[in-house]
Each structure stands twice: as structure tokens, then as C-alpha cells.
Amino acid sequence: MNIRFPENFTWGVATAAAQIEGGAFEDGRGPSIWDVFSRLPGKIKNGGLPEVACDSYHLVERDVEMMKELGVNSYRFSFSWSRILPEGTGKVNEKGITYYKKLLALLKENGIRANATMYHWDLPYALQLKGGFGNREIIKWFCEYASVLLDNFGEDVDMWATFNEPIATYVGYGQGFFAPGLRDEKYARQALHHLLLCHGEAVKLFRERKPGHGKIGIVVDVWRHYPEREENEEDKAMAFAGNEIRGYGMFLHPLFLGGYSKELLDYFEENQLMPLIAEGDFETIRQPLDFYGLNFYNGLYDNADKMREREKARKEGGNYQDEPENHPEALKDVLHMLVEKYHVNIPIYITENGMPFDDASGREANLDDQARIEYVKNVLIWLHKAMEEGADVRGYYLWSLMDNFEWSAGYDARYGLYYTDYEKAERIPKKSAKWYAQVIREKGFEVER
């Protein structure tokens, strides 16, 4: 069977500033919430710190060279708010501006389009001390930051995403295992509402400025939950909550349908979690967008009995772990859902997709990553099927260009096409890098029927 994608299909790789740049305390950059959170005992696996990471702050030429080797025509990256505005507002750090101008110039020289995310989880710590996203003033702070980005880089960025995976703010403010490490669901719900308002106001600002030829959207991940036992009421309730109460529904509904869903509002009322909502907020949030970025990794099947076993094992100090599941077929279902349920009638890009290898498996096993090739191949097959059925998907970005700082997993999870030797700051192509380069050249691949 011949899997072929359109001639104008976008092939890319994705990274994030906090995960690859390093240079955390160089050239005027201020600390982010992840710089602080990573120093709290037990928060990051094996105590990993992001202050050097892949050292892309100094090795940006090599990074773009790797993209050229792969043949990608687009690079998805994020700006570091702390590098641009060390205090979150106020004085602009010109050395930060210079760094990103250098990156954008290198991309342009090599014919690689820039897909830039304004915010990928790394809030300046100075703003967190003022309440972070829980403070409605964040809307003004974020617009000041967005304005600096558009003024300095508007002519050179092809695609802008206001936010990447807003759910990280919920996890960091309400569940404690992402930065800033808080466990206050009411605060988290208010923070998410403000984040969506930041998005809406930034889109309005973009429309007013009309910078260059760029387009603007947002990136929301979808891990769609399904009941493992379709007739089991507990499984169905778990899946519903995973989707609508603590998952993609709390973003997609206000972004594309207007307001929060009745089910989410009922949950707020029942648990005294209702955020403060001002008149006109939902009109601000629901701005027309040019594209939607979908981060897809897997479908999830919920089983209440297995969940209880996991909780029991955790409490008893055991090491309960499910066999890893792989459900790339969920991608087609998710793409249909976006259009049919949420009326996402704009071009869609798969802005992240990938598979980790464990660092403990060793260097050679990581370099010979056939399992990653098979995973990505299956995802692309299901993506192709969805496109044949009418899904308007314009591009695919593989996570990630290279192994990097994977948030709370530290340096244990390796997602890269290039193996990162952190001690030597070397990048070495894996088997998957060579395979992906071939897919890009041929705009697809052959599979056995």
C-alpha cells in the first residue's frame, strides 16, 4: 500500500525553549517557574535541571543544520518569556531578542518556515510571585509580552501559536507535579480562565498589528479517553471526566463553541470551583483562528478496577505499572471529533507526536529505535486515512528534534530523532532520523497490505 501525502504538506520537528535552550542564567535571562520548580527535592526524576539542557542557546547553528539534514520545511519552537522580559514585564532583554533573530535568520537561510509558540509552560518566576495566571493582571502582562514578540519577529514568523497545551497550567496549579507545583484546584480553574483570556486578547492584538504574512492559532493536546468496558458505568464516568472535566473539553468548548459546557459548569457548582467570569469574557476567548494545532500521542482506555489497584499499590509502596498501550487509531477518531463535535473548521496541523525511549535502556538501544519508527509509521497511516475521509490536516511535526529536558521526567525520557549526549553536548542521528528524512523526501512510504 502506498501512503503518500500532498506535495505542499508541511513536514516539521518541534521543540520548546525551556527544554532545549539552557543558558538559563546567561545574558540577562530571568528565572522561569521551571527553573525554580526543578530545584525542589523530588520534583524532577533523577534531579535533572534545565539550566544547560541541550545547550541550544550556544549550539543553534548545529540545530538548524540537523533540520537541514532531515529535510524538514518547518520548525516549531517557542520563545522564552524570561529571556525576552526577565521580570515578565518592563525592560526588554536585547540579548534575548538577538538570539531569536539569529535563529529566525538561520531558518530563513535554509528555507525552513518558522512556527513559533508564544508560551510553552515557562512563566517568568517574577510573575508567579504576583499570582501568575491566577491574577487577572496576567492578561495585561501577556499582551505586553506578545506585543514585544510581534514587534520584533512579526515579519519572520509564518505561524504563531498563543499557547501550547494549556492543561499544563491546570496540572501545575491544581495537581502539583508540574511547575509551579501548587495543589489548589480552585486557583487552577481561575488560572485557566485567565489563560484563555490571554489567548483571546493576543489574537485580537495580532489582528490589529497584522504582522507580515503570518497566521495565528493555538495548540491543544487531545488524549481522548474511552471506557475500557463500554457498559461499565464507572469506566464511562472516568472517561467522561478525563475528556470533559479534566481534559480537552475545558478548552475546546470555550475556544470553538463558546462558554464552558453545562457538565463543566455543573462540576464547578457542585465543588465550589466556579471561576470569576466577567461580562464579555467568552466573546474574547472565542476569537476566529487561522489554524488549530493538535498534539496527539495516544488514546486512553479507562478501567475503574485497574485504577483502584494502582492506587492501592501506591499507598502500600508497591510498583504497580500497566503494560504500555499504543492506540494510534485514536487519531482518526480525534480528528473527526474536532470537526463534528467542536466545529473546528479550520486547517489542522499535528503539532506534536512522538514516542519516548527510556534513558536506562542505553545509548545503543536508543540509537537503534525501530520501535519509534513503527509507532510514527502507524500514526501517519491513521492520519492518512483521516485525510482521505476529509480531515483538513496540513502538516505533521514530530516531537522532538533531539532528546531534551522532558519536564518532570527530567532526562530519563528520550523523544529525539537525534540522541543527545548531555555531557559532550553532541547530537547523534538515530535510525528514526534517517527514516524520517526518507519519508519527507518521498512524501510518504510503502506498507505491506
**422 Cβ neighbours under 8 A, 6+ residues apart:** 52, 53, 54, 411
pLDDT for 208: 97
Mean pLDDT of 419-426: 96
pLDDT for 449: 66
pLDDT for 311: 80
Count Cβ atoms within 10 A of the Cβ of residue 169 and give its class: 0-12 exposed, 13-18 middle, 19 or more buried.
buried
Which H helix or E strand runs over 351? strand 348-352
Please give the Cα distance from 321 to 314 (Å, whole number). 10
> Considering only CA atoms, which of 215, 76, 209, 73 is closest in space to residue 152?
209
Do 393 and 335 contact (CB within 8 A), yes or no? yes
**29 Cβ neighbours under 8 A, 6+ residues apart:** 23, 80, 82, 83, 86, 93, 96
Do 439 and 3 contact (CB within 8 A), yes or no? no
pLDDT for 321: 43
Question: How much of the chain, in percent, has pLDDT values that exceed 70?
Answer: 97
CA distances to 25, 81, 100, 305 from 150, rounded to whole Å, are 24, 13, 12, 50
pLDDT for 448: 82
Please give the Cα distance from 170 to 182 (Å, whole number). 10
Q: Residue 116 has what DSSP assignment?
A: E
**24 Cβ neighbours under 8 A, 6+ residues apart:** 31, 32, 35, 50, 51, 52
Q: Which set of grid coordinates corresponds to residue 301? A: 482506555
Q: Do strands 159-164 and 113-119 pair parallel, antiparallel, or not at all (unpaired)?
A: parallel
Mean pLDDT of 41-48: 96
Q: Which set of grid coordinates corresponds to residue 141? A: 502582562
Question: How much of the chain, in percent, has pLDDT values that exceed 90?
Answer: 94
What predicted TM-score, i.e. pTM, was given to this entire model? 0.97
pLDDT for 312: 78
Interior CA angle at 257 toward 255 and 263, to 5°? 100
> Considering only CA atoms, which of 368, 342, 365, 344 is closest in space to residue 432?
368
* Largest distance between two CA atoms of the chain: 60
Backbone angles phi, psi at 376, to 5 degrees: -65, -40
Backbone angles phi, psi at 433, to 5 degrees: -65, -45
pLDDT digits over 308-364, tens only?
988 876 666 544 345 457 899 999 999 999 999 999 999 999 999 999 999 999 999
Q: Which set of grid coordinates corresponds to residue 225? A: 479517553
pLDDT for 317: 54
Domains of the chain listed by start with CATH number: 10-438 (3.20.20.80)
Do 80 and 21 contact (CB within 8 A), yes or no? yes
Q: Which residue has the cell 545503543?
A: 364
pLDDT digits over 158-178, tens only?
999 999 999 999 999 999 999
Mean pLDDT, the chain, integer: 96
pLDDT for 314: 61
Predicted confidence band of residue 21 (pLDDT cuts 50, 70, 90): very high
Backbone angles phi, psi at 150, to 5 degrees: -65, -40
Please give the Cα distance from 13 to 396 (Å, whole number). 8
Please give the Cα distance from 165 to 161 (Å, whole number). 10
| Active-site amino acid positions | 165, 352
